[in-house]
Chains A and B, each alone.
Chain A
């Protein structure tokens, strides 16, 4: 059973690839309204943890529970997404040959079946929602240009935008500020904090400054296990963390 109030709960999750244990008996949960940062050295298992939640990998042992009692590890990826989990990937993956508007059209919250989409055109509300999301991201002037022309930071934002219009309950963001300028990082930090008020946001990041600015709580992963968890200050001063994950940011 999930902890009361938590949106996502990993219960003793183990994921191994050909014998290599990427996650070992991980117990982890994020509450609704929380902005959690997931940090750790490379190879710690951060991305694997996100993969286990959204169904990209299946745990060998343990459960992944969403909301009250939905066991995610039994579902397929698209079903998990439709339950209300939006993922932004580490390497930005938007549809480069389409306009920004079309990218968001695909992501917009709507039925996903073939016949539901056969005659589907966006209604006024959905169109406005897409345009206002583009405005929030500062990309509305490029709405009808191909996504391939965007800068790296803008592609990150577009992908964040794509997750936004899905209107998920849980946001999984893998390195959202990689490659961004200082202003872009601050803007993203504000955006995520605003999002976290009504959702749950789980961010994997290496940029400690960003984590300090943005996160409520931090979980440190090391070699597939949770090393330490708590506020930014608590984690920073933990000797184990200092030993393992020194001097970033």
Chain B
């Protein structure tokens, strides 16, 4: 008896809760215990927390690329916007404790400002900064999406466009006139909500918050991709024209999912900047955006878990390898990407299934007269053309 649709959804929901439970076990119970007993140092926990923040960023990327087929080479823009918004708040919290002892940040004193620029003012408030670090990137994403998706800009052109915007954003944030710290960015944070950022207890609390938010975002993304919207996302990826002629306003959906990814990226940025202590334009532009793609491709873009594993795995590898072989890291990263493109289309997470199919294929070839599987139904017109008409 074939399962009904609600049965499939129940199984999928069960899977979500099991994975979420595992994550809770490892991240919210296991690691803190390890830390409590001294097996994991403060430094390691803080470092791992940074990876978890980047995993949230990877979730956003996976939603738009893995599930909807929108390749954005500029997600670091939204990450940066979230980080800068939070960074502004953290800088203002430490006001009066800078080198100059002024109420405004040091770099503004260098720039001969006497008072805070207007757009910094709202972020003096912590709640506004938190909401802003999610809302500002989401709105920016919605704006970009509105200007592009409604004009049917997609595929390669959209990718190039996002890369150009990332580059332009990097140029903008580098300028001192922006009053966002120029090349040096925002740094030297001391307090958050009155607690010292350097205190291990604060860092532990931030780790727990990051881990909790990651799990919450994972559950949210699982729900989204398992819902009707998830079906629509997959349909957009696989056969956009067919979906259009089923009556769906494609641009609306793309704008929506792009904004969700923007929000997730902003959240990641806010968590990241709080724990790393600095945000600079170098984390906004073209190269960081490309790295995000590599993480998701490597981990497995058809799977949310894959995206998280890719983010944590590659960043952990980077920490270890750049300590030992700093010059080799770009080559290793590039090499990983080439390996994924050539050998691992479904990433690390897809590797077991790939090996399984490979083994079955080998066994199938060796025994003669075996019943051909669905793959045998390869007809000349097997893949329906992306363009439904003859032209």
Residues of A within 8 A of B (CB): 17, 47, 51, 54, 56, 77-78, 81-82, 87, 89-98, 101-102, 105-107, 112-114, 117-122, 127, 141, 143-144, 148-149, 151-152, 155, 162, 166
Closest to A122 in B: B5
Closest to B302 in A: A97
For B252, the chain A residues whose CB sits under 8 A away are: 113-114
A93-B384, A117-B229 are contacts. A166–B246 as well, Cβ < 8 Å? yes
Check B384–A98 contact: CB distance below 8 A: no
By Cβ-Cβ distance, the 7 closest A-B pairs, closest first, are: A89-B388, A81-B247, A82-B247, A93-B384, A93-B242, A144-B2, A149-B374
B241 on the A face (CB < 8 A): yes
In the complex, which of the residues B3, B234, B235, B248 has the most CB atoms of chain A within 10 Å of its own CB atom? Answer: B248
Closest to B252 in A: A114
Closest to B384 in A: A93
Pick from B239, B241, B374, B390: contact of A47, CB under 8 Å: B390
For A149, the chain B residues whose CB sits under 8 A away are: 374, 377
Check A97–B238 contact: CB distance below 8 A: yes
Within 8 A of A (CB), among B32-91: none
A95-B239, A102-B231, A114-B229 are contacts. A78–B381 as well, Cβ < 8 Å? no
* Nearest CB on A from B371, distance (A): 14
| 17 other A-B residue contacts (CB within 8 Å) besides A78-B244, A89-B242, A144-B2 | A77-B244, A78-B245, A78-B247, A78-B249, A81-B245, A91-B381, A94-B242, A94-B384, A96-B238, A112-B248, A114-B229, A114-B253, A118-B229, A144-B4, A144-B8, A148-B374, A152-B381
Check B242–A95 contact: CB distance below 8 A: yes
Pick from A56, A96, A155: contact of B389, CB under 8 Å: A56
Closest to B224 in A: A118
Q: How far is the CA of A54 from the CA of B390 in the complex (A)?
A: 15
Check A78–B248 contact: CB distance below 8 A: yes
* Nearest CB on B from A160, distance (A): 13
Pick from A89, A95, A112, A122: contact of B247, CB under 8 Å: A112
Check A93–B241 contact: CB distance below 8 A: yes
A81-B246, A95-B238, A120-B228 are contacts. A90–B5 as well, Cβ < 8 Å? no
Q: Can you show 24 pairs from A to B with CB atoms below 8 A apart? A: A17-B391, A51-B389, A78-B244, A78-B246, A78-B249, A91-B384, A91-B385, A93-B239, A93-B241, A93-B385, A94-B239, A95-B234, A96-B384, A102-B5, A106-B232, A106-B235, A114-B253, A114-B256, A121-B6, A127-B5, A144-B3, A144-B4, A149-B374, A166-B247
B128 on the A face (CB < 8 A): no
Pick from B243, B384, B390: contact of A106, CB under 8 Å: B243
B198 on the A face (CB < 8 A): no
* Nearest CB on B from A49, distance (A): 11
Within 8 A of A (CB), among B1-46: 2-6, 8-9
Check B238–A54 contact: CB distance below 8 A: no
* Nearest CB on B from A168, distance (A): 9
For B250, the chain A residues whose CB sits under 8 A away are: 78
A98-B234, A114-B229, A120-B228 are contacts. A91–B246 as well, Cβ < 8 Å? no
User: How many A-B contacts are there with CB distance less than 8 Å?
Assistant: 113
Closest to B385 in A: A91
B227 on the A face (CB < 8 A): yes
Q: How far is the CA of A101 from the CA of B6 in the complex (A)?
A: 11
Q: How far is the CA of A225 from the CA of B390 in the complex (A)?
A: 19
Check A117–B228 contact: CB distance below 8 A: yes
* Nearest CB on B from A158, distance (A): 11
For B391, the chain A residues whose CB sits under 8 A away are: 17
For A101, the chain B residues whose CB sits under 8 A away are: 5
B112 on the A face (CB < 8 A): no
B379 on the A face (CB < 8 A): yes
* Nearest CB on B from A70, distance (A): 15
For B245, the chain A residues whose CB sits under 8 A away are: 54, 56, 77-78, 81, 87, 89
Closest to A90 in B: B390
Check A95–B235 contact: CB distance below 8 A: yes
For A47, the chain B residues whose CB sits under 8 A away are: 389-390
Q: How far is the CA of A96 from the CA of B134 in the complex (A)?
A: 36
For A98, the chain B residues whose CB sits under 8 A away are: 231, 234-235
Pick from A97, A141, A155: contact of B234, CB under 8 Å: A97
Q: How far is the CA of A54 from the CA of B4 in the complex (A)?
A: 33
For A78, the chain B residues whose CB sits under 8 A away are: 244-250
Q: How far is the CA of A112 from the CA of B247 in the complex (A)?
A: 7
For A106, the chain B residues whose CB sits under 8 A away are: 231-232, 235, 243, 246, 248
For B239, the chain A residues whose CB sits under 8 A away are: 93-95
For B383, the chain A residues whose CB sits under 8 A away are: 96
Q: How far is the CA of A141 from the CA of B1 in the complex (A)?
A: 9
* Nearest CB on A from B215, distance (A): 22
Q: How far is the CA of A97 from the CA of B238 in the complex (A)?
A: 8
For B229, the chain A residues whose CB sits under 8 A away are: 114, 117-118
For A107, the chain B residues whose CB sits under 8 A away are: 246
Check A113–B249 contact: CB distance below 8 A: yes
For A51, the chain B residues whose CB sits under 8 A away are: 389
* Nearest CB on A from B115, distance (A): 42
For A94, the chain B residues whose CB sits under 8 A away are: 239, 242, 384
For A93, the chain B residues whose CB sits under 8 A away are: 239, 241-242, 384-385, 388
